[in-house]
Amino acid sequence: MIGLNGAGVRRGERWIFRHLDLQLGPGRCLAVLGPNGRGKTTLIRALAGLLPLAEGERSAPQEIGYVAQSIGDSVPYRCLDVVVMGRARRIGLFGSPSRADYRAAEDALAQVDGLRFADRFFNRLSGGERQIVMLARALVTGAEVLILDEPASALDLANQALLLSVLHQLRADGRHAILFSTHLPQHALCIADEALLMLGVEEHLQGAADTVMTEANLARLYGIPIHRARVAGTVEAVVPVFLDGVGTARS
């Protein structure tokens, strides 16, 4: 459905990642983890077709539902219009959104509990509220591939739970392939089938999320001791272990 084969991206003379293979099919969810600056956004943008590969190949469908990491200020559009823009491919360059497009946008907002934002101006929303609206915009595309760059980074706990449940439902329908990056390993353990740990430019550890995300591998990834524990039923928490203060934990 979507994939990379021997892929690499360079910024100037510097390789951000190389020799990366990735295949994601329908009904599958892959989480990408790595420390700040390791290349998650670069990988996601390359996968979404927004950054050229310097080596390797990409295969992808025409339409992808994409949520960018940073959602800057924009011109003052109503949120419903921002969401309806997700239908651009269906509406066409010179077309106008139909009643059905607006209905689909409302449904997508309702799916993420964001209907209350419909008439508000996007540029006046908080960071988390914008993330919710942008998720609705990705959903309204109807795309079967969803690529989400840190979709929970600004969300409160209730909205994190909502996001996880929406992604869980999409994955469970067997039509969608979902890839998301996160700094919250417990989210990966909660809904991802697979995890990709970006350990280094040429070192990528990929496999079943539960198997790959061991305390040892996560400690290697982040350079600090990590504790992983079952907190309720199948829910796991992943926390940094502070040794004798924040500054001394990183190896």
Chain residues binding ligand ATP by CB under 6 A are: 11, 16, 34, 36-42, 69
Q: Which CB atom, from 37 or from 174, has the smaller least distance to ligand ATP?
A: 37
d(CA 124, CA 187): 28
CA atoms within 13 A on the CB side of 109: 24
Q: Closest separation between CB of residue 87 and ligand ATP, Å?
A: 28
Contacts 24+ apart (CB under 8 A), 204-209: 204/17, 204/19, 204/20, 206/21, 206/22, 209/31
Nearer to ligand ATP, 15 or 121 (CB): 15
Query: d(Cα 13, Cα 208) in Å, to the nearest integer?
Result: 33
Q: State the minimum distance, in angstroms, from the CB of residue 183 to ligand ATP.
A: 6
Strand partners of residue 193: none
Distance of closest approach, residue 75 Cβ to ligand ATP, in angstroms: 23
Q: How far is the CB of 37 from ligand ATP (least distance, A)?
A: 4
CB closer to ligand ATP, 26 vs 240:
240
- CB nearer to ligand ATP: give 71 or 88: 71
